[in-house]
Structures are given as C-alpha cells and as structure tokens.
Amino acid sequence: MLDFLKNEGIRTDLLDEVMQFQKTNTICPEMTYRIPNPRFHYYGNNVWEEAITALLCAENLLLVGPKATGKNVLAENLAALFRKPKWDISFHVNTDSASLIGTDTFENGQVVLRRGPIYECAINGGFGVLDEINMAKNESIALLHAILDFRRIIDVPGYNKIILNDGTRFIATMNYGYAGTRELNEALTSRFMVIEMPAISAKNLGKLLQREFPHLNPGYLEQFIGLFQDLQKKSENSEISTKSVDLRGLLSAIHLMEKGLTANQALRMGLTSKSFDPYERELVEDVIRLRIPEQLTREKIFA
C-alpha cells in the first residue's frame, strides 16, 4: 500500500506520519488477521491526502457520494495503510445496540458478554467501517452519538464504560444523490470530517482498468473510459438517471467479456438493464452503440 501511494505521488511527509502512527499505536498479534489485504487500490490523490490527514488528527471520517465511487474500497485501503484491524458494521433494519456492542450469553452457567463489533473495534484500536450509516435507525443513532463522542468513552446504560483505544477510528459511508437515500441527522454529521467522493477521473479509470485487465486492447480501454464518461455526462444533464452510471457494473461486464460474452451482451447486463425504464434503456444503448461495435468478441477486446 505504501509503495503504491508513493508511486501515485502522495505527500511523503504524510506517509512518514502514517508509519509513525503504526509504531505508536500497536495492535495485539491476535488481531493482525483483521488487517485487510485489498484487491483494489483506490485512485484519487486529493481524497487520499484528505483522508490520511483527518485520521492522523484523530478525526472520524464520513465518505459521502454516489454508488461505486470507491467508498468501501477507500475505507479498506485506509485500514491496510495504517495496518489496523477492520470491522465492518452495517446498519440494516435489524441492527440494534445489542448487536453492535454485545449481548449477554450463558457460558458454563455464568452470564458473559459476547462482544459486538463496535466493542471489539473500540478496545482493539481498530478501524470501524460504519457502512451506509444514513440507514441507521434511531436506536443505533443514539449509540453512534456516544461512540463518536470526543471524550472517546462509550458510556451506554447496561454496559461497563468502554474506553476507546487511541488508535481507534470510525469511517462511515453514505450513498447520496438518488431516490431512496436518507439524510443523516445534523448532530451525527457534526461528529465527522466529511469527504465528498468524486467520480473517478478518466486518467485514474485508465489506471484501474489497466491493473484489473492487463490484456485489454488499448483502443478498447479508451472506448470503455469514454463510454463511462458519456454516461456520466448524460446523467449530469438529467437525460438519464444514475442507474446505468455504474462503474461496478462496467468492471463486471468486462469480466464477462473475458469469459466470452460479446461486449453488447455483457454491457446490457452490467449497465443498460440496471434501468427499468424502456426509454432510458434505449438512450443508454445509443451511447454504447456509438463506441462499441455490434458483436464485438473477446479476441478483439483483449490483445
């Protein structure tokens, strides 16, 4: 991770401080298995420098942005860079305080607390990824207020006081900008430094595609980048919704092409069919048609 960031040109003084942080905030050996080994690298130097700086200043981070802007990839990359065990904590309808902090269970006739992910993360100096935090319901929100408090002590009725390890950080993610997303309440937002996740740049998308598909023909690499940008522009101009502007879908589609589907079949599955509106699907197909010939097969796509 460190080498990757040096290569990308991230400020070396920041990276030196990260190393220093690793030395002062050691973790216990039993937790090293939780340090992620990311499959994807996050690309975007401004975001990297903002995120690293905030974490070094003991801030918690809120990553806000449309789907597939690399929020979870960045959170995972950060835990890997800082060499911290990571806990993923998601906020679905059934998430309550007990499942986050812990529940009493019987063991050999005694009541013991089975620690939940927040508890473990807090005492072990972990990075807790609070995924889709805006979907949290009120009960969990009250708990989150306590966790993210500057006093770094979780004091919740029914539990012992939990003192946060100095190395513990929380990184929340939140989708924003399309129907069905919820706002986050002000008091909770105020406990974070917020990064608005930008759409990946053409240059960085090129790097990402090259790393993921080393044999991709350079001509088609350009076309896939162009296609994604065309879709972004159409969506910004409100000609189409954001449904088909899906980097995750584009990457998956290219994987399907590697396995032998034609480009059109794969792009229909990865992009076009994400919209359920026939008129919009036609617009997306038009964009694809301008860049990708009919019946394009893998022999042509991969060199």
Ligand X SMILES: Nc1ncnc2c1ncn2[C@@H]1O[C@H](COP(=O)(O)OP(=O)(O)O)[C@@H](O)[C@H]1O
- Residue of 72, 77, 134, 235 that binds Mg ion (CB under 5 A): 72
The dihedrals phi and psi of 195, each to the nearest 5 degrees, come to -115, 120
Give the list of residues 6+ apart from residue 111 with CB closer than 8 angstroms, or none. 104, 105
**Comparison of 42 and 213: residue with beta carbon closer to ligand X:** 42
**Residue 128 site contact among Mg ion, ligand X, none (CB < 5 to 8 Å, cut-off depends on kind):** none
Pattern of binders to Mg ion over 29-68, x per CB under 5 A?
A: ----------------------------------------
Residue 254 has which token pair?
Answer: 């290219």
**Comparison of 173 and 235: residue with beta carbon closer to ligand X:** 173
**Residue 216 site contact among ligand X, Mg ion, none (CB < 5 to 8 Å, cut-off depends on kind):** none
- Residue of 1, 36, 43, 240 that binds ligand X (CB under 6 A): 43
To the nearest whole angstrom, how small is the minimum distance from the Cβ of residue 49 to ligand X?
Answer: 14
Q: How many residues bind ligand X (CB under 6 A)?
A: 18
The dihedrals phi and psi of 113, each to the nearest 5 degrees, come to -85, 120
**How far is CA 67 from each of CA 63, 129, 141, 178, 247, rounded to the nearest angstrom?**
11, 16, 23, 9, 8
- Match 């790393």 to its residue by tokens: 211
State how far the Cα of 87 lies from the Cα of 27, in Å rounded to an integer.
Answer: 14
State how far the Cα of 114 lies from the Cα of 98, in Å rounded to an integer.
Answer: 10
| Full DSSP string of 169-224 | EEEEEEE-SSTT-----HHHHTTSEEEEPPPPPHHHHHHHHHHH-TTB-HHHHHHH
**Comparison of 204 and 244: residue with beta carbon closer to ligand X:** 204
Residues 62-91 that bind ligand X (CB under 6 A): 67-73
State how far the Cα of 294 lies from the Cα of 123, in Å rounded to an integer.
Answer: 56
To the nearest whole angstrom, how small is the minimum distance from the Cβ of residue 52 to Mg ion?
Answer: 20
Nearest partner of 174 among 135, 138, 142, 148, judged by Cα: 135
To the nearest whole angstrom, how small is the minimum distance from the Cβ of residue 135 to Mg ion?
Answer: 11
**Residue 68 site contact among ligand X, Mg ion, none (CB < 5 to 8 Å, cut-off depends on kind):** ligand X
**Comparison of 72 and 244: residue with beta carbon closer to ligand X:** 72
**Comparison of 67 and 255: residue with beta carbon closer to Mg ion:** 67
**Comparison of 68 and 296: residue with beta carbon closer to ligand X:** 68
**Binding segment (CB under 6 A) for ligand X, from list 21-29, 40-48, 214-222, 226-234:** 40-48
- Classify 57 as helix, strand or coil: coil
- Residue of 1, 27, 42, 242 that binds ligand X (CB under 6 A): 42
First to last CA, the chain: 29
To the nearest whole angstrom, how small is the minimum distance from the Cβ of residue 238 to Mg ion?
Answer: 24
**H/E stretch holding 131:** strand 127-131
245 near ligand X (CB under 6 A):
no
To the nearest whole angstrom, how small is the minimum distance from the Cβ of residue 78 to ligand X?
Answer: 12
Residues in the chain: 303
Contact residues: ligand X, CB under 6 A? 40, 42-44, 67-73, 173, 200, 204, 208, 247-248, 251
